Structure 1
Amino acid sequence: MGFKRNRNFQIDGSVVNDSPGNGNTFSTHVGNNYHQHFSGTEPGLSNLSSRVAFNALHDAEARYPQPNVLAGTRQEIIQILSSWCEDDSKSSRVYWVNGAAGVGKSAIAQALCEKYTQTGQLAAEFFFSRNDSSRDNLDPFVDTIAHQLATCKALKPLIAPLIDHVIRSTPGILHKTLEDQFKMLIQEPCAQVDPRYWAQLPRLVIIDGVDECIDVESQKRLLQMIQNVTPTLPLNFLIFSRPELHISRIFSHESFIPHPSCLALGDFAESVRADIKLYLCGAFARIREEHRHTLDISSQASWPGDSVIDQLVSKATGQFIFATTTTKYIDTGKLPVTPVLRLDVILRAKRVANSPSPYPDLDLLYSQILKYCGYEGRKLLEVLRLIVSPFDKEGDLQDPFRFDDSPPALQSLCALEQLLELSQGEAAALLSGLHSILAIPSSKTEKIVVLHASFSEFLLDTQRAGVYHVGTKLSSQEWMQVLIPYQIRMLSRYCVEYNHWSIQSPRIYGGDDVDLGSLNVWRFLYENWTTIAANDQITAALNVFDPHLYLTTIIYWGYKEGFFGLFTVQRGLETYTHDEDYIIAVQMQISMFYGAYRKLKVLKISDKRSRSCLQDFFTRCKSFFRGFYVSFPSHISDTLEEAVKYMLVVCHLSISRLPYHLMEYSFSTTVQGRYPVRKWIIRVLPSNNGVAIPSRWEVKYIDATEGQLLRKLLELPCFNSSVNSQRIMKALGSTDIEHWTHEVARLDWKKTWKTYLLGKVAQSMQRKRVMGKVVYLEDEHDSECHSVLSPPV
């Protein structure tokens, strides 16, 4: 039967499959409830989809290669869990599988997900991971489970319209408490499905790694949500975690009714030993085949022998992670390091007597791998500390790396080199021996992933790691102290390379454009300096930062096609990136920089160490905010002259109102200019050094006090209402900026003369120019000019 543009028909006890886009409006009868929904248009589910942690699914590319059980292993455990999953008469809808680190919990969960996806019995899953910020917390859990229920092939006709209706009819539901979301998006929609249908519907929900949710309170909250709905929710929850005390208490508490089933993987010691031995035999067979050229003929069929495999099984103490890490380490060696030599390293390692570690052999394995990977003092530990520290995206620096549409991951090889000032390729070299415990992508921009949480725990535990202890995880404040100097260095380097005046734009760290996240660094410093310690890296980065190059660069950024979006210009709740906001955008960048400079000046007064450390930075800034030179070609076309005038206005106004604040600037629409047709026609230069310019270039002095007067004039009401922008631009009709304020004032002299005269009086009292020497270079190419270095004044 076909449907198209039909209304008000009912399906009772059946499933309707309708093609998207037909525009049908129909209702389903589920139990005693009727629900009208619209085929092909589900805005509620679309909103839900944007909040899903797709990395938490068993077949996510981000989890590749997924942990899985070797064929023929873990059969007893999988059979027990399969019996519970397939038992329709089970007394409890919750089953807790617990085990120590490295026993293979995630591999078992993965195998069951794959099995019941094939049979159509899996309703939803969620794999937590402390190494992935998209699934290391509870926030996306409810949305991810609800989305899977709504998109599951068998459940979709019954559940999707219910969830979609709830989202569309309940504004703000996706911002309610997780408990309310769980009730409204999962519990209540499932309760509205006729109980008779559930016997044939997918009901299994697998949750792995509850302990990998980084907040303990969130772990408790998740289990309590499940506990509260167990008596009525028709879903079955198979939950995997370590036997942490707070988790064990919830599952064993008398209020958990009916009482959950429980399986401790540690109770299967003998079968696990047999499975580990089977795994090792298979892994060494593969290694013998792939590395047979490194083995002598007599060893090609039997190496390493039964006694060695038994020895490794004993060292594993029931931990599959020991077996898998050992074989990966042996297999990833490069000549002259052969598998035989790598195995010998592991076998000769001696366990520390009376070790306090719960996993002494695993710790010994990690130590041996680190010892023979080319360990070089603190550099490797600094890299590893960044890799095992989660990054909380907060505030203005929430996106520290934004080159293009595909930003590199914060814990990628590319990012690590820049954050720690390593040479190109050094991060990959430092980590080259750790492929058995780290997933290191071939792409320098993809995230490095710790293959097992036990390695992160080892590095962060001083008793277990010893000399390989990396310290504590970086706090949010410590992350900022790593990011801030990086971003200042990025701006400095980009401004220097951008101002080489080359025909083509420079390529910085593999990207065509500057790290756009760095543009917020001044605002962040201004607003958060009391919580940011002035470490050596920050002061060193500030001392080489040149505001003259910075202003030159952001002026040209504004002229590059599509680059107005670089500048965040906010008025109230709105963000502007239009052409008329260009002057505001440049002024905002300079005023944010000035705000950070003033905060640092306060620190200078109270901190003697900072006074000496930041002296170069303060000297350079003092000169810049007093005034600077601008140089440009003398003989240019009319079009370029218009562009020069406009850029001079921007320079004039950029330092005219220095305090950082957000406000409406009415003059932005009265000052307009044309874009230049070539890249380099203006250069900002310091005034406290000599200025060397080509012989056919002009030089003008930009005075901050004169700029303040011009701004005051342009903001007078008379120019907003009675004087149009063309007349103002005519008054600014030359590059002779010394007469601009006079010409603008004359446009409406009766209403502006007091402002003009008072400004001139104040200017004569405040002005303290430091004029440098202008040097004309007869033999210099027309496209080059620079400052002549001399001791700062």
Structure 2
Amino acid sequence: MHDSEERYPPPLCHPGTCEAVIARIEEWYGFEIPPKKKIMWVYAPAGYGKTAVAGTVSKKLEIRTDLDFNPIGATFFFWRTSPERNSPMRFIITLAYQLAMSIPELTPHIETAVKRNPMILNKALEAQLMKLIVEPFKSLGELDDIPHRLIVVDGLDECINSDQESRVEKQYAEDQEHAQIRVLDLILTLQSHHLPLCFLIFSRPEPWIKQHIESWSFQAVTEMLNLYKVGDHMKDVETFVRNELARIAESLDPQPDDKDEWPGENLVQRLVRRTDGHILYAATAIRHIGIPYEDPRQRLQDLLEWHLHLTPALSHSTSFSSLHELYRQIIRSCPLGNRDAMVEVLEDILAPPDVFESHVGVHRALDILDRISCRMPGRGIKAIRSLHAVIRLVNDQDGSPNHEPEFFYHSSFHEFLRKHPRLLPGVTIDVQKGVRRLLVGCLKSLSSINLNSRLDEEHLKFALSKWAYLWLEWKPFNEPEYSSELTALLAVDLTACFIQELSSNSQFPSSLRLCLEDLYHPTANLIVDGKRFLWSIHTSFVEDAVLHLRSSILGALLHVLDSDYFGRNHQHLLRPDALPAFMAIYMAQLYENRPPGFEIAVQAFRRLQLEQGELYEQLEWGVVCSARGGEGLSLVESMFKLVSRYQSVK
């Protein structure tokens, strides 16, 4: 939602800017007169303020007092780094909830749909759309008298289908494209039912998005708006630059040799020309200039003087080339003595994307990375202090956490680091170094965990939940490196780690989920998948690690199925997220593969059934519900039938 806590403070247009594009959107929407084309697609490359425009339109329409209805029906702001908002899985239920709030007449019909079939919340999005939005609207009868509401969907290109993220990069890209096209088709389906809804979509002009919206089915109902061609971007940037430099100037002490008030018209115009109308460049430059612990006058002067030394080809290149050079200039500002540490911290940040919860905040996340990477406490934040313009370094240790789950102000800096790893002569980013450094630190942390461990320290929680992801991302450089980490993994009590993760996580633990994928496949399991030196390492060593993983997961299952343990912890074990979801996947694999230990697992289930019959039935119901909709449902049901028929309980 545009006003959710996770987005606070929400990106909005600077006062006095983007007025032309906002007026164009309002003209299309029409308020009391619905537009002929009920979908508008606003597109522009990264950094042209699409999200700010979307947020400003939502806020401006929501506070209108001259209407007897709220024009904003619902909003959904996709965001790549937020697990709550980077997948289409919550798209329909979020819209339905907001529509129930903005159109109260819908509320009883939506509530009835959920009460009638609670599993609708887990059904396919297309089914949710019909039951939670279309049919409730149809239940109202005549719809012509209902004012049409606006649904704002921002960042469609940020929908990456993380819930079904593939291990193969190419397949992941295809999944991302499929997810975005699916959202567009859901919107087109809603539009086809002639509901009192209009749809405002913001995204980059990705080729597949553009091609789909330009198809015949969309063309008849969609108006396209190129954000870059609307309004006077140079004027908008000048307004922003003047106001921000004036704000910075107010905090300066006057210097004895100041003849004119800083910054002066010449400096303002030079910086405005430098932006070429690119608001992202202007915002980044202002943050760089306004770093509180350095002189902004010198920072601005350095920035403009650096521009004089650009080659003619670069100085007349695209705004993104100039933006990348600005990023390099920001990196140059880092003291030479800090650059090695700065590179290491950036590698750590890039290694595990999207792994920190939104409430963690940048400072706490860097503290965790320091601990895992064996740096001195606080070293990470000091190493990247000069990157204040591109990394969120607000203080979140005073009880007011930064709710942004993203390190970077804009995704373009993240993309720049990955696509241009040679930042400066002698300064190169190697993401794989970060992956291995964190993996080594996680395995070292895990080696201290047993069943009685108290997981009060955040770096231990991080290690528990992220080591498998890092193992999956890690590409060994040579055989000794691979052997070293196999040895470290064999030294970890994985059974205890899995049990601790199940006990401390209200949702299905991420490491355990990854470990379960293709667990009994000979080459696609977590330990060996993608490790190019596998076949030249002693086979038995690898087999030991694979067996260690499989037996540890079985050990965790047997531990929680112990009658005494289950009886003491049944309320925790019967919750709908962690244990039933784990069992649903694992039981399907056990039944299908019949690995060593299968008989022991069946015995453990049967013993629990006989000793804790009522609780066992609740567990069975929860596991079957967790498997419902997945490929393993029939296998899970067959496994439970086998348990019920099993006679030889020892």
Q: TM-score, normalised by structure 2?
A: 0.65
Correspondence for 1:596: none
CA-CA distance at 1:145 after TM superposition: 1.2
How has the CA–CA distance of structure 1 residues 283 and 388 changed in structure 2, closer, same or farther, with 3 Å as cutoff? same
User: Match for 1:143: what amino acid?
Assistant: I
Residues 636-663 of structure 1 show CA distances to partners (whole Å, capped at 9, x for unaligned) of: xxxxxxxxxxxxxxxxxxxxx9996567
- Structure having the larger proportion of residues in helix: 2
Which of 285, 293, 298 pairs up with 1:341?
298
In the other structure, the counterpart of 1:416 is 369
Structure-1 residue corresponding to 2:269: 310
- Kindly state the Cα deviation for residue 351 of structure 1 after the two structures are TM-superposed: 3.6
AA aligned opposite 1:212: E
The answer on 1:147 being equivalent to 2:97 is yes
| Count of aligned residue pairs for this structure pair | 509
Give 1:230's match in structure 2, choosing from 179, 191, 194: 191
Equivalent residue in structure 1 for 2:245, among 265, 277, 284: 284
For residues 247-262 of structure 1, what are the structure 2 equivalents within 5 Å? 247-256=209-218, 258-262=220-224
After TM superposition, give the deviation of residue 331 of structure 1 in Å.
Answer: 0.8
- Give the 3 Å change call, closer, same or farther, for CA 298–452 of structure 1 in structure 2: same
Q: Are the equivalent residues in 2 in contact too, given 1:388–1:450 (CA < 8 A)?
A: no
Higher strand proportion (structure 1 or 2): 1
Does residue 181 of the first structure (1) align with residue 125 of the second (2)?
A: no
The answer to whether structure 1 residue 241 and structure 2 residue 174 are counterparts is no
1:610 Cα deviation (Å)?
11
- Residues 1:86 and 2:24 aligned together: no
2:636 corresponding residue in structure 1: none
1:708 matched residue in structure 2: none
Aligned 8 A contact 1:104 1:319 in 2: no
Deviation at 1:307, TM superposition (A): 2.3
Q: How far has the Cα of 1:665 moved from its partner?
A: 8.6
CA distance in 1, matches of 2:560, 2:270: 80
SS where residue 386 of structure 2 aligns? Answer: coil
- Deviation per CA, 1:578-607: give whole Å up to 9, x if none: xxxxxxxxxxxxxxxxxxxxx99xx99976
Give the letter aligned to residue 168 of structure 1: K
Q: Which residue of 2 aligns with 1:12?
A: none
Q: Relative to 1, partners in 2 of residues 1:667 and 1:253: Cα closer, same or farther, differing over 3 Å?
A: closer
Q: Is the 8 A contact 1:203 1:234 kept in 2?
A: yes
- CA distance in structure 1 between the partners assigned to 2:291 and 2:436 by the alignment: 35
Equivalence map 1:14-163=2 (5 Å): 57-87=1-31, 88-119=33-64, 120-152=70-102, 155-156=103-104, 158-163=105-110
Conserved 8 A contact 1:491-1:514:
no
Long gaps (5+) in structure 1: 1-56, 394-398, 500-504, 558-563, 576-598, 622-656, 672-714, 716-720, 722-793
Q: Structure 2 vs 1, CA of residues 470 and 117 (structure 1 numbering), >3 Å: closer, same or farther?
A: farther
Matches of 2:387 and 2:473, distance apart in 1: 38
The answer to whether the aligner puts 1:220 opposite 2:181 as a matched pair is yes
CA distance in 2, matches of 1:204, 1:430: 45
Alpha carbons 1:131, 1:390 under 8 Å: kept: no
Partner of 2:349: 387
1:542–1:364: structure 2 CA closer, same or farther, 3 Å change rule?
A: same
Residues 465 and 501 in structure 2, CA contact (< 8 A), matched pair in contact too: no
Offset from partner CA, 1:603-643 (integer Å, 9 cap, x none): 999766999xx9xxx9xx9xxxxxxxxxxxxxxxxxxxxxx
The answer to whether the 8 Å contact 1:481/1:533 transfers is no
SS in 1 for 2:41: strand
Deviation, 1:276, is 1.0
1:364 aligns with 2:309: no
- Say if 1:412 and 1:448, in contact at 8 Å, map to a contact too: no
Q: Residue 454 in 1 paired to residue 412 in 2?
A: yes
Question: Which secondary structure does the structure 2 equivalent of 1:130 belong to?
Answer: coil
Indicate the RMSD between aligned Cα atoms, in angstroms. Answer: 5.0
Larger RCO, structure (CA 8 Å, separation 6 or more): 2
State the alpha-carbon separation in 2 of the partners of residues 448 and 188 from structure 1.
38
Are residues 96 and 407 of structure 1, via their aligned partners in 2, closer, same or farther at CA, if it must alter by over 3 Å?
A: closer
Give the 3 Å change call, closer, same or farther, for CA 424–265 of structure 1 in structure 2. Answer: same
CA distance, structure 1, for counterparts of residue 324 and residue 464 of structure 2: 43
For residues 353 and 144 of structure 1, what CA distance do their matches in structure 2 show?
A: 50
Does structure 1 retain, via aligned residues, the 8 Å contact 2:373–2:438? no
On the 8 A contact 2:363/2:395 being kept in 1, the answer is no
Distance 2:561 2:310 in 1: 75
Of 147, 152, 160 in structure 2, the residue corresponding to residue 206 of structure 1 is: 152
1:449, CA displacement in angstroms?
2.6
Q: State the alpha-carbon separation in 2 of the partners of residues 147 and 141 from structure 1.
A: 10
- Return the alpha-carbon distance in structure 1 between the equivalents of residues 348 and 55 of structure 2: 28
> Which residue in the other structure is 1:687 paired with?
none
Residue identity opposite 1:177 in structure 2: A
Question: Where in structure 2 are there 5+ consecutive unaligned residues?
Answer: 65-69, 161-175, 510-526, 546-550, 566-603, 605-609, 611-650
Q: Which has the larger radius of gyration?
A: 1
Corresponding position of 2:442: 487
Secondary structure (helix, strand or coil) at the match of 2:200 reads: strand
Q: In the TM superposition, what are the counterparts of 1:426-575 in structure 2 within 5 Å?
A: 426-443=379-396, 447-462=405-420, 470=429, 484-492=439-447, 511=456, 515=460, 566=500
Cα distance in 1 for partners of 2:459, 2:208 equals: 47
Question: What amino acid is the match of 1:292?
Answer: D
Tell me the SS of whatever aligns to 1:96. Answer: strand
Contact 1:129/1:136 (CA < 8 Å) preserved in 2? yes
Residue 321 (1) aligns with residue 280 (2): yes
Q: How does 1:574-723 map to 2 (within 5 A)?
A: 661=555
Classify 1:245/1:85 alpha carbon distance in 2 versus 1 (closer, same or farther; 3 Å): same
Deviations 1:661-707 (A, max 9, x none): 56769997799xxxxxxxxxxxxxxxxxxxxxxxxxxxxxxxxxxxx
Between the aligned partners of 2:333 and 2:82, the Cα distance in structure 1 is 28
Displacement of 1:199 = 3.9
Which whole-Å deviations, capped at 9, do the CAs of 1:128-181 have from their partners, x for residues lacking one? 2223232122222122111111223xx12x212222222222353222222222
Query: In 1, Cα distance between the equivalents of 2:466 and 2:299?
Result: 47
Q: Contact between 1:441 and 1:448, CA under 8 Å: does it hold in 2?
A: no
Structure 1 residues 454, 664: CA separation in 2 closer, same or farther (over 3 Å shift)? closer
When the two structures are superposed, what TM-score results if normalisation uses the length of structure 1? 0.55
Distance 1:667 1:69 in 2: 56
What is the CA–CA distance in structure 1 between the aligned matches of 2:364 and 2:328, rounded to whole Å? 22
The one-letter amino acid paired with 1:136 is N
Report the Cα distance in structure 1 between the residues aligned to 2:179 and 2:23, rounded to whole angstroms: 31
Distance 1:469 1:344 in 2: 27
Q: Is the 8 A contact 1:96 1:262 kept in 2?
A: yes
* Aligned-pair identity (%): 25
Q: Which one-letter code corresponds to 1:440 in the other structure?
A: L
AA of the residue aligned to 1:248: K
Contact residue 146 and residue 196 of structure 2 kept, 8 A: no
